């Protein structure tokens, strides 16, 4: 019986000899098929070997063409790019990317998209000036990364483009699993930072994007672009900047579905995040991009009629949220500072499936409501399943779709006025009341519930306390 040690040694030898065969016989078809057979045999030997040691067998198919002889890390400086940022490095970086896109393996990406085996364009901490967008080649590919350095737009960079562009030439998905990470992107007030168009499963991680005039990040079409741990601002500041009223551009412009933005700060832009797609998720966002008072918006949801946006655990710092005709919108666990509020804007009067719950609002006691309506186009008429509740406010007027109140009187009518608390004017869909009348036993009736005021009447004068609970949304059967 062969010892484990000898087996491992044989295995290593086998790998070496296969590589040797391939180095010389790569073009020969029989060589390749031999290689497959060998690999399969070794994979099963290796799997059984591993399982005997109590580790579950790894099942994976091996690469076929071409076999890696060197590293898949393509260093910008190896291509003559200038890491001091003085000379234009566009050509060099393009060449490096183009070479990386030739390192394909037999992959597991979506049909037609070649697996680049984890190839990287490594910037090695350099700063590179570019005069054209870095575009990925026309080859459809993925499992690729650009990382670790700075990119700056030259003074003649086109103003309508982005420094890095995943911009397929066809309408089909061309890129999948591309990671842009540990990058400083300086658009130099020429164009935007990063554009991800029609791409699948893209990651933007730990980037700092500044000096854009259009978008910090544009996400258009495609699926599942995940932006995380990233700082985005047109002008570099830490709040209270004297240029704030002139801040322009959009931090993240999402015209796409199924994306996530997590742990991201937007510190200057006219709109922090603009959403024009569905089923996007935002968590841990800190917006102080431009105060509402200067015309700024933290998150603008412009997907009327179908939103499906979830915003959680975020921080709205003097700038709030605007949602047009929201259908399925969830805002929770967030903190609104400096009179920041949520504005529901009616286009065709639709407000359906909205939860604004468990948030905190803080203001300056000038009477700003926490949730507001813009009905200048049309009043909200289709209001269903809207829950604004369980929020708290300090120095602002707390608005809600659910309210409770009580009043004591000695007489025949009791009225609780909810107009200051309720979000929608003149809307009470559900009332529940009880009349607490001590020892007496009065006959009573709900007389009126219009104008967000609830009136209860007794037949005879009575000393009693009226307790009322009202709800503006339809819950259960109607």
List interacting residues with ligand NAG (CB under 6 A): 410, 448, 450-451, 453, 461, 463
- Cα 70–Cα 136–Cα 201 angle in degrees, nearest 5: 90
Closest to ligand NAG by CB, 28 or 448: 448
Beta carbon nearer to ligand NAG, 333 or 451: 451
Least separation, in Å, of the C-beta of 234 and ligand NAG?
Answer: 49
User: Between 242 and 443, whose beta carbon lies closer to ligand NAG?
Assistant: 443
Least gap, CB of 400 to ligand NAG (angstroms)? 19
Element at 168 (helix H, strand E) = none
Q: Does residue 193 sit in helix, strand or coil?
A: strand
Q: State the minimum distance, in angstroms, from the CB of residue 448 to ligand NAG.
A: 4
Query: Quick check: 185 and 193 in contact, CB under 8 A?
Result: yes
The residue at minimum Cβ distance from ligand NAG is 451
Residue nearer to ligand NAG on the CB measure, 308 or 462: 462
In the bound state with ligand NAG, the residue whose beta carbon lies nearer, of 339 and 462, is 462
Round the CA-based radius of gyration of the chain to a whole number and report it. Answer: 31
> Of 342 and 422, which CB lies nearer to ligand NAG in the complex structure?
422
Helices (H), 26-128: 29-52, 90-100
Q: How far is the CB of 414 from ligand NAG (least distance, A)?
A: 13
Strand, coil or helix: 262: strand
Rounded to whole angstroms, the Cα distance separating 202 from 178 reads 5
Residue 311 CB, nearest distance to ligand NAG (Å)? 35
Closest CB to ligand NAG among residues 448, 474? 448
Q: How far apart are CA 155 and CA 170, in angstroms?
A: 30
| Minimal distance, residue 415 CB to ligand NAG, in Å | 8
Cβ at position 417, least distance to ligand NAG in Å: 9
Nearest-angstrom CA–CA distance, 448 and 455: 5
How far from 48 is each of 4, 57, 63, 267, 369, CA to CA, in Å?
11, 7, 20, 55, 67
408 vs 397: CA distance, rounded Å: 24
> Distance between CA atoms of 252 and 271, rounded to whole angstroms?
8
69 class by beta-carbon count within 10 Å (0-12 exposed, 13-18 middle, 19+ buried) = exposed
We find the least distance from the C-beta atom of residue 464 to ligand NAG, in angstroms, to be 9
How far is the C-alpha of 342 from the C-alpha of 400, rounded, in Å? 12
* Closest CB to ligand NAG among residues 381, 450: 450
CB-nearer residue toward ligand NAG: 236 or 445: 445
In the complex, the smallest distance separating the C-beta of residue 346 from ligand NAG, rounded to whole angstroms, is: 23
Cα–Cα nearest to 159, from 106, 220, 211, 93: 211
**Tokens 């994007």 -> residue:** 209
Which two tokens mark 270?
A: 């006219």
């Amino acid at each position: 019986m062969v010892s484990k040690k000898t087996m491992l040694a044989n295995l290593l030898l086998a790998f070496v000899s296969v590589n040797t065969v391939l180095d010389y016989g790569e073009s020969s078809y029989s060589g390749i098929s031999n290689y497959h057979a060998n690999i399969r045999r070794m994979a099963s030997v290796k799997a059984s070997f591993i399982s005997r040691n109590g580790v579950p067998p790894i099942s994976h198919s091996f690469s076929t063409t071409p076999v890696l002889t060197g590293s898949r890390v393509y260093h910008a400086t190896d291509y003559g790019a200038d890491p001091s940022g003085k000379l234009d490095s566009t050509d060099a970086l393009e060449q490096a990317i183009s070479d990386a896109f030739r390192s394909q393996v037999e992959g597991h990406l979506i049909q037609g998209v070649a697996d680049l085996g984890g190839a990287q364009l490594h910037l090695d901490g350099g700063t590179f000036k570019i005069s054209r967008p870095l575009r990925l080649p026309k080859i459809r590919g993925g499992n690729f990364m650009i990382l670790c350095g700075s990119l700056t737009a030259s003074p003649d960079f086109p103003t309508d483009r982005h420094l890095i562009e995943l911009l397929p030439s066809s309408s089909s998905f061309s890129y999948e699993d591309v990671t842009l990470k540990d990058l400083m992107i300086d658009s130099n007030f020429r164009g935007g930072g990063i554009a991800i168009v029609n791409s699948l499963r893209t990651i933007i991680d730990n980037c700092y994007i500044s000096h854009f005039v259009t978008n910090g990040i544009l996400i258009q079409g495609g699926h599942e672009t995940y932006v995380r741990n990233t700082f985005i601002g047109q002008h570099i500041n830490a709040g209270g900047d004297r240029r704030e009223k002139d801040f322009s551009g959009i931090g993240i412009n999402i015209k796409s579905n199924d994306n996530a933005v997590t742990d991201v700060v937007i510190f200057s832009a006219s709109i922090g995040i603009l959403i024009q797609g569905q089923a996007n998720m935002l968590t841990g966002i800190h917006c102080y991009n431009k105060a509402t008072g200067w015309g700024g918006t933290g998150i603008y949801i412009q997907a009327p009629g179908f939103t499906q946006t979830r915003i959680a655990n975020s921080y709205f710092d003097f700038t709030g949220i605007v949602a047009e005709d929201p259908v399925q919108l969830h805002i929770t666990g967030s903190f609104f500072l400096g009179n920041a509020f949520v504005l529901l804007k009616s286009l065709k009067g639709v407000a359906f499936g909205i939860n604004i719950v468990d948030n905190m609002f803080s203001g300056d006691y000038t009477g700003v409501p926490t949730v507001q309506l813009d009905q200048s186009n049309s009043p909200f008429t289709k209001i269903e399943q809207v829950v604004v509740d369980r929020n708290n406010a300090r120095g602002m007027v707390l608005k809600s779709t659910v309210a409770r109140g009580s009043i004591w009187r000695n007489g025949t009518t009791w009225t609780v006025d909810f107009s200051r608390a309720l979000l929608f004017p003149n809307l009470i869909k559900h009332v529940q009341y009880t009349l607490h009348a001590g020892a007496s036993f009065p006959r009573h009736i709900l007389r009126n519930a219009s104008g967000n005021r609830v009136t209860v009447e007794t037949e005879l004068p009575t000393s009693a306390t009226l307790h009322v609970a009202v709800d503006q949304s339809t819950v259960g059967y109607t």
